[in-house]
């Protein structure tokens, strides 16, 4: 396939038996708002041969429809149903555990669309509930530059003190944007934990449930195609975050591939490998293009 780099036989050997990919978004497919060089071609190659993949991301700022639409603007053709985000996982959790009960969701207007059908309170309704002593089931914290303000965080703080469950879409402390390293929602989540002395439930990577849902989706797809049973060791998590992607994927029983196009590098790989509980990825690759070439090239 001319769009892919030459096949690396040692990488191919490390990936022997892999039948599906879970791909992180930021740092693997995109970086600082642009496509990683070779990533659109790599995903197009997967599509051409029908190799299964999901984009699994801790993104909590926008809906799946918006992710797919934005992806098309930078060269990808990934449909909305190929995304699994911390946002969608949080909405699914809220639907299971807080159905019919009021929740306060701190995220963008677009992201809030994933919570359609749930009793999501706006700021005025939260203020009224606080003033009148009415219970709110949960505070669900995502990312939004416009919403992560002192005012909204104070509402969340007061609700959690009153008994609301604190749910974090993820714990990412920072990410890379066109402006440079930028604080992410996990930083504010930790602040609320410290202030309230309550431990948050987290939904995105590296939570094992997040990977379990993705693995189940992939297994269901394999079964529908009439393929042999797909187990977790048949899946490879490809990521640039040594702790959320590689560590989380390993704990969930997946194969793991670290790519060098994102925020972590040799220092983080060495840190993760230290100690009796240290770990290493099953493979290291320059980028997603080399991973795909090893599998389908």
Buried b (16+ CB within 10 A) or exposed e, 100-128: eebbbbbbbeebbbbbeebebbeeeebee
Neighbours of 166 (CB within 10 A): 21
Give the position of tokens 């949960």: 138
Instruction: Specify the DSSP element, H or E, that contains 285.
Output: strand 283-285
Q: By CB neighbour count within 10 A (0-12 exposed, 13-18 middle, 19+ buried), where does 289 fall?
A: buried
The residue ranges of every structural domain in the chain are: 88-202
Spans in the chain with pLDDT lower than 70: 1-2
* pLDDT reported for residue 177: 82
Please state whether beta strands 20-23 and 235-239 pair in parallel, antiparallel, or not at all (unpaired). parallel
CATH number of 88-202: 3.40.50.1000
CA distance 31 to 263: 9
CA distance 234 to 20: 7
* pLDDT reported for residue 137: 97
Give the position of tokens 């449930």: 209
* pLDDT reported for residue 243: 95
Got the DSSP string for 39-90?
HHHHHHHHHHHT--EEEEE---SS-HHHHHHHHHHTT----GGGEEEHHHHH
Q: Which residues contact 35 (CB under 8 A, 6 or more apart)?
A: 29, 74, 75, 76
* pLDDT reported for residue 164: 97
* pLDDT reported for residue 1: 43
């Amino acid at each position: 396939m001319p769009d892919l780099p030459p096949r690396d036989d040692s990488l191919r050997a490390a990936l022997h038996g892999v039948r599906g990919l879970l791909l992180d978004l930021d740092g693997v497919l995109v970086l600082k708002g642009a496509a990683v060089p070779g990533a659109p071609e790599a995903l197009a190659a997967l599509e051409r041969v029908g190799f299964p993949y999901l984009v699994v991301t801790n993104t909590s700022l926008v809906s799946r429809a918006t992710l797919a639409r934005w992806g098309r603007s930078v060269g990808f053709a990934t449909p909305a149903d190929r995304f699994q985000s911390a946002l969608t996982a949080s909405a699914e959790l809220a639907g299971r555990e807080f159905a019919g009960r009021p929740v306060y969701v701190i995220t963008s207007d677009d992201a809030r669309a994933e919570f359609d059908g749930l009793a999501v309170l706006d700021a005025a309704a939260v203020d009224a509930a606080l003033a009148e002593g009415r219970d709110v089931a949960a505070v669900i914290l995502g990312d939004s530059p416009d919403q992560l303000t002192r005012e909204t965080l104070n509402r969340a703080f007061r609700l959690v003190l009153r008994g609301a469950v604190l749910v974090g879409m993820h714990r990412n402390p920072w990410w890379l944007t066109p402006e440079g390293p930028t604080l992410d929602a996990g930083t504010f989540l930790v602040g609320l934990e410290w202030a309230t002395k309550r431990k948050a439930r987290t939904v995105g990577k590296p939570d094992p449930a997040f990977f379990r849902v993705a693995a189940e989706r992939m297994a269901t797809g394999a079964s529908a195609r009439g393929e042999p049973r797909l187990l977790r060791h048949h899946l490879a998590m490809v990521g640039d975050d040594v702790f959320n992607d590689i560590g989380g994927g390993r704990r969930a029983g997946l194969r793991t591939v670290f790519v060098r196009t994102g925020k972590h590098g040799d220092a983080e790989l060495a840190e993760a490998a230290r100690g009796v509980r240290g770990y290493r990825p099953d493979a290291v690759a320059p980028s997603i293009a080399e991973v795909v070439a090893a599998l389908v090239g």
